[in-house]
Chain A
């Protein structure tokens, strides 16, 4: 069976858990992204069909929110907090260091699809600033010289 047919069936299975109601659009987009890491063109069109909305409406909603991605992300997602407390405590050097080690800028993915780098507005772990999150693992009081170690471990 071709791969995209399988993916299509899997998305159908996800969609079946939701009602055909526009207010479910964000939870649907979240569920599909949780499975694939991003929202493909095909996924958007399948979601639109299911909700009986035009693809432009689904795109419109999904591009409004920072959470949704339209290109695949790496196996490890490195998110660097840009919150106030982190800023005051020098997170920009942590971000620079991560970018230097990975050789990519924020919003980019390494060519081997191992790492993606992102910045995030605030994690709400301000007391531990500066904060870096590798996938779901929160690292607090990160200094530039700790970044390499964190990246190696995760």
Chain B
């Protein structure tokens, strides 16, 4: 390619290549092949699609796209025929592929059992519009606008959908004007803390230095969070364009993307994207003839949660143990190798190009007074429609769980939603009127965090969940400061004691004391926020803690050491299913003899409860009480 200089030339070229690509094949099939899609079987679907198309000698192009967030409907297959809107199919299996080919690719009837709906403005009679569904209707897609719609490995598709227009605009403005635009949009850090992005950029710009660095924090370590992975896999250029705009505004010439090694596909996509940008002269020296130089490197993390903390992350890039250091000095004053540096999260960067393209006023029209724009959440746990969602700030948790999430699995009782991962807290079901924005979640003792949102039902134990999060923070504590290193270990010890049925009433007070010490005394946010899951569960589910320590009982019937399984002698029909499936051979009984659980051998795995046919429902799970059952198997009907 001859050296392209202006954005107009880049855009013309991208359009030309994109149109040629479109024309090359009349029928196009798009498959969601992010990590989630592939785990759900996208590769097998692609294989059987190719086989079927070849067998029937149908010409069609198959394109792997990212994720539109409907993880529970993966694998997703979209079909576009000339002059027709895009038709989407969900939960596609290899054997259903030929049905889609028969009915819609050969035939003209999109209807079949995997049909979800059409995408776009045009309609097909009798087919619903996918984006009118309860899951998608309340969503507003800004950071994820291209996810699932473009081939993430093709820069031209990004450009055709408005990509790099924001950069072109920014390069024609002064640094101050760009920062003002970002400030006016109200954009705040999407990594968790929520610092105003424009303010942060301005600090970095104003600090003198021969060199400045910008960093993209893609070390998404919160268990339960996958927003950044999804964006990087589905639309890497929006993050890279955001970084370019930021670098220009702050006067930085070098940048790093620190991405966790557990995301190999994201790293691959970023590398491809960078190569393509270099091909268009969008990276390197004198970008689009503006005199602006920018160089970008990818650093792979190596598995340390604390490296999501900005000073620890910089230590890691420099090749050290990733331990945080006290602030000030802030990274904007003295960051990477002592130079002024700015760190933003993946989602923050992903919003920047749209803000520049469409203007701060447009962006600020979404959200609440103090929390502008949208936020992505990884909706998971005990909810029907799991997935990646992007909603305007200010939407209620109830709308997220019940409208978008489709409610709790198996119609169980909704207990709580946990936001912010190990740094966040539990918001109980009776506060589901709370809105998803920085202020309201903080007031509830939780945090927005990067966007993990895990739904819990009545079978989830609050004490066990607090123990779970402390296990995580304790093992990820870097060990530099005493309150975090020792404090989290002590807290975990108490919680483990409680879950094992060895807790004492005074443990609760001791736990609260430790919470205060750890949150006040820790050097960085890892320790500072580690007590949040404990504090919020204590605040909202104190009765469960009391039951654990006073009665050694787990009301949610989850803590293994506090539960027992019994077989109701009046209901057991001696079918042997539970006995055959029991992994520890703890169930005695025989033909026409009711079954009995040997409590000493039982490992409390719950397989018997799952396997007992619903029509009998003879297995019962109890905590803190015993059931009167015979010691030995007796004939059916004699109980």
A interface list, Cβ under 8 A from B: 21-27, 29-30, 60-61, 64-68, 82-85, 87-89, 93, 96-97, 100, 120-129, 131, 136, 138-140, 144
Contact = CB atoms under 8 A, between A and B. Distances in A.
A37 to B, nearest CB: 15
A140 B75 CA distance: 12
Interface string B306-322: 00000000001111111
A49 to B, nearest CB: 16
B292 interface: no
A84 B421 contact: yes
A97 B607 CA distance: 12
Interface string B367-389: 00000000000111110001110
Contact of A126 (B38, B226, B318, B469): B226
B226 A138 contact: no
| Most chain B CB inside 10 Å of its own CB: which residue of A24, A88, A100, A131 | A88
Contact of A124 (B263, B303, B478): B263
Given A64-B321, A96-B605, A124-B263, A26 B223 contact: no
A77 to B, nearest CB: 13
A23 B315 CA distance: 9
Given A27-B300, A61-B319, A93-B605, A122 B222 contact: yes
Q: Sorted from nearest, which 7 A-B pairs have the closest CB atoms?
A: A127-B71, A66-B303, A65-B302, A84-B224, A124-B226, A85-B380, A126-B380
Interface residues of B, number: 59
A21 B318 CA distance: 9
A82 B583 CA distance: 22
B13 to A, nearest CB: 33
B199 interface: no
Contacts of B35: 123-125, 138
A127 B36 contact: yes
Nearest to A121: B223
Given A85-B454, A121-B221, A144-B607, A126 B378 contact: yes
A84 B319 contact: no
Interface string B328-358: 0000000000000000000000000000000
A88 B456 contact: yes
B302 A29 contact: yes
A107 to B, nearest CB: 12
B322 A139 contact: no
B66 to A, nearest CB: 14
A89 B410 CA distance: 13
Among A85, A89, A120, A121, the most chain B Cβ lie within 10 Å of the Cβ of A85
A61 B317 CA distance: 12
Contact of B418 (A61, A66, A84): A84
A61 B321 contact: yes
Given A84-B224, A122-B223, A67 B303 contact: yes
B39 interface: yes
B305 interface: yes
B302 A89 contact: no
Interface in B586-636: 605-607
Contacts of A29: 302
A100 to B, nearest CB: 7
Given A88-B456, A122-B225, A127-B386, A26 B302 contact: yes
B389 to A, nearest CB: 11
A132 to B, nearest CB: 10
Nearest to B421: A84
Interface in B246-260: none
A121 B225 CA distance: 11
B221 A89 contact: no
Contacts of A97: 583
